[in-house]
Amino acid sequence: MRSGKFAFCMLVLTLTLVCRQASAVLIESWENSLDGWTTSPENSAWTSAGFSSTTGVTNQSFSWNLHGASGFTYGQLIDGPSTIANTTLLANSATVSLDVLAVGDFGFGQQWAMVVNNSNTGYNNIDPTFSHSPSIGSESTLTWTIPQSIRDTLAVSPNPTQIIFQVGSGSGAGGNLFLDNLTATVVPEPASMGVLAIGGLLAARRRR
C-alpha cells in the first residue's frame, strides 16, 4: 500500500517537473533591425518609423515603431519572415505572445489577429474574430493559442512558416505602434512526458 502511494507521488512529481519545463523562446525583439519583418506591399496604413530605445521596450534595448495613417481598415498586415525555424518552433509551442503599445488616435480602438502561413496549413487565421483589443496608451501583452491541429500539421511539414499579424482600427487621426518581445511558449512533447512518467514508476518499483 505504501509502495503504491509512493509510486503515485513519484508520478505526480515527475509530471509537475515536466510541466515546469515549459519555457518562453524569443522569436523577435527588433533590436534596431527588422530581421525580415515588413508591412505588406498592399498595406498603406502602416509604415516603419524605425526603432525606439525609450518607448514600448519590454525586451532588450529597442522596440519597432510603426506609424499609422488615418482611416484604418481591417486586415492591415504586418509580415514576418518565412522560415523553417518557425515551423519547428510553432509545432512545439502552446502560445505566441507579443507586447504592444499603441499611442495616438485610433478611433474606437484596435483589434488584432494572428495568422500562421505554411503551405501545409494554408493561410490560417487562428483568431478570425479579431478578439484581441489592446488598450490605447498602455502596454498590452497579446497572447494567441496555437491550435493542436496546426501544431500537428507543422510537426510533419518540411516547409517554412510565416507569422503574420492583421491589425484593424477605427477611423482616427492615426498614431504609432511599438512592438516588442515576440515570444513562443514551448511545451514538452507528450512522448517526453510519458517517458519521464514511466521513469518515475520504475523508480518506485525499484524502491519497493
Quick one: pLDDT at residue 42? 59
Q: Same structural domain for residues 35 and 138?
A: yes
Contacts of 200 (CB under 8 A, 6+ apart): 7, 10, 11, 13, 14
Q: Same structural domain for residues 3 and 29?
A: no
Quick one: pLDDT at residue 199? 46
| Beta strand spans in the chain (E) | 23-28, 38-39, 46-52, 63-68, 76-83, 93-105, 110-118, 122-125, 140-145, 161-169, 174-186
Average pLDDT over residues 111-135: 91
Q: Same structural domain for residues 119 and 179?
A: yes
Domain that holds residue 192: 1-21+188-208
Q: What mean pLDDT, rounded, does the chain reach?
A: 82
Q: Same structural domain for residues 69 and 152?
A: yes
pLDDT digits (tens, 9 = 90+) for 67-95: 887 665 555 789 999 999 999 999 999 99
Q: Same structural domain for residues 177 and 205?
A: no
pLDDT digits (tens, 9 = 90+) for 107-116: 767 888 999 9
pTM confidence score: 0.79
Q: Same structural domain for residues 108 and 177?
A: yes
pLDDT digits (tens, 9 = 90+) for 164-189: 998 877 666 778 899 999 999 999 86
Q: Same structural domain for residues 132 and 104?
A: yes
Q: Give the count of domains, the chain.
A: 2
Q: Are 162 and 86 in contact (CB under 8 A)?
A: yes
Q: Same structural domain for residues 194 and 153?
A: no
Quick one: pLDDT at residue 71? 60
pLDDT digits (tens, 9 = 90+) for 43-61: 567 889 999 999 999 999 9
- The distance in angstroms from the start CA to the end CA of the chain is 10
Q: Same structural domain for residues 40 and 65?
A: yes
Quick one: pLDDT at residue 84? 98
